[in-house]
Structure 1
Amino acid sequence: MADNALELRNIDMHYGYVRALDGIDIAVRQGEVLGLLGDNGAGKSTLLKVMSGAHQPTSGEIRVHGAEKTFGSPADATHSGIQMVYQDLALVDAQDIATNLNLGREILRRGPLGWLGFVDHKAQRRRSTAELEKLGVRTAAVTRPVEMLSGGQRQVVALARGATRVNGEQSGILLLDEPTAALGYEQTQQVQSLIRRLADQGVACVLVTHNLPLAMSVCDRIAVLNRGRKVADIPVAETENDHLVGWITGARASMFATASEAS
């Protein structure tokens, strides 16, 4: 069995008297796609923010490839090999695909021009093309501005940008927040295929989604949150749509309920 790439142990998150997360234990292995499901207010976004370093938990432990970590900011999580792909994509519309793929890791020109901060755009385009080919991504030319792309193409660029940062010598963790929320069927299929290819290359993926068919088709395992607690954690092959809906709505008892709670 593959090692855990990311593991959270007994995570609590309090906002004053409100307990957003209550004793969450969750892990994702290298090369695995973990679906994170739950109704609005279940704690999915809060948990994702804890994973990405945007929020610091009230208590609990975070481990990356077995090493305990403390994230004071998203930059700390990034340095540990974790990348977050936000629902709003965070792309620069006026810039081309290559520039967006290289944001924060620009290739500077050699010599005095590089010292002055001039970017080597040709080198960035070559690197971007090679990285997209490695990921098996077929999209527009890397010189095309993002504002001219379709919704599916934009999502693929955002996913590819995250993937190029986590798919190094030690495969990292990619956190995906509703990646198909505004996409049609064909565009969703394109994004789904890319997620599976990333997992096949060893990337650990955590997918937050309300799309149950997507979760059932692309995920290896699904965890369900309800009012800040984990109520299910099960391989996709061992569950079905009705069970997931029951856990999400609370109509089905938690897999981890005590005898008194179950009754």
Structure 2
Amino acid sequence: MSETILSVRNVSKHFGGVQALNKVSFDIHPGEVVALAGDNGAGKSTVIKAISGVFRYDEGDIELDGRRIAFSSPQEARENGIETIYQDLALADNLSIGANIFLGREPMTRLFGFLPVIDRKMMAEAARVTMEKLDFHVSRLDAPVSAFSGGQRQAVAIGRAMYWNARLVIMDEPTAALGVPEQRKVISLIQSLKAQGKGIIFISHNLRDIFEVADRIVVFRRGENAGERIPGETTGDEIVRLMVGK
């Protein structure tokens, strides 16, 4: 895989006297799932927030499609093809799938030729087409997402990333607090994104999910790279040893 979507090189980040990241490096290629593994406080969330514009990193380089990036906001990251799906999903529970896909980016049309209004028909059709691609089936696409299960809500968040044609999708604990059948559905959705050539950063404390979905595992320990492994060439025990330094 010669093409690289994202390249993180020697990135460091300090919060006062605390060094959260110390010269971490990894790459993401098209159609590749890279899992970030590590204990709480290892630096996983810090590096994805540096990538997605939550805050600026202090040192090093992050390149997207060969172009150095240092986004000033998550909105700027989204505009450049990076979608982040956090554990809380950032969905508006009282709104429909279409409204959530377009949240903050609503399409407009003109009523009577001059009065601007939200184009709800376009939003509904976009929701239908997008969710069909994910093999997502519910009785009412116009229902508020609060009526959906955890796995279905993950599908809505993933559908939003698909609609806006994200090059890179960052998923932070996407299977947490889900039952086993819903976890299987989320893994299937990730495989669908992978088949479309998206680059995916996958963060999870569930080693079983990591081994099932990842092409590579990058292990973090105390803000540093502790190792990189291919799932088929390592074991869960080795990953844990890298995480804890034993």
State if a TM-score over 0.5 links the two structures: yes
CA distance in 2, matches of 1:131, 1:144: 16
- The answer on 1:69 being equivalent to 2:64 is no
* Matched residue, 1:190: 185
What is aligned with 1:156?
Answer: 155
Deviation per residue, 1:161-180 (Å, 9 max, x gap): 1222235xxxx000111111
AA aligned to 2:125 is: R
Correspondence 1:224 to 2:223: no
The answer for the alignment partner of 1:78 in structure 2 is 78
What letter matches 2:117 in structure 1?
F
Of residues 91-100 and 29-38 in structure 1, the stretch that sits farther from structure 2 once superposed is 91-100
Corresponding residue number in structure 2 for 1:89: 89
Q: CA deviation at 1:109?
A: 2.3
- The 3 A distance-change label for structure 1 pair 246 and 54 is same
Q: Offset at 1:37?
A: 0.7
| Contact 1:97–1:157 (Cα < 8 Å) also in 2 | yes
Could you list the runs of 5+ residues in structure 2 that have no partner in the other structure? Answer: none
Q: 2:91 & 2:144 partners in 1: Cα distance?
A: 10
1:2 positional shift: 4.5
Correspondences of 1:28-177 after superposition (within 5 Å) = 28-111=28-111, 116-167=115-166, 172-177=167-172
Q: Give the gaps of 5 or more residues in structure 1.
A: 252-263
Total equivalences in the alignment: 246
- TM-score normalised by length of structure 2: 0.95
Q: Deviations over 1:170-191 (max 9, x none)?
A: xx00011111111010000000
Offset, 1:221: 0.7
Q: 1:154 to 1:3 in 2, by over 3 A?
A: same
| Separation in structure 1 between the aligned mates of residue 125 and residue 162 of structure 2, nearest angstrom | 17
Instruction: Decide whether the 8 Å contact of 2:92 with 2:145 is kept in 1.
Output: yes
TM-score by length of 1: 0.89
Rounded Cα–Cα distance in structure 2 between residues aligned with 1:21 and 1:8: 12
Q: Structure 1 residues 246, 140: closer, same or farther in 2, change over 3 A?
A: farther
How far off its partner does 1:116 sit? 4.3
Worse overlay, 154-163 or 87-96: 154-163
Q: In the alignment, what sits opposite 2:237?
A: 242
In structure 1, what is the Cα distance between the partners aligned to 2:130 and 2:148?
19
1:96-149 CA distance string (max 9 Å, x none): 112112213322223557x64411212211111112223443345311111111
Match of 2:164, SS? helix
1:57 counterpart SS class: coil
Q: CA RMSD in A?
A: 1.5
Match of 1:258? none
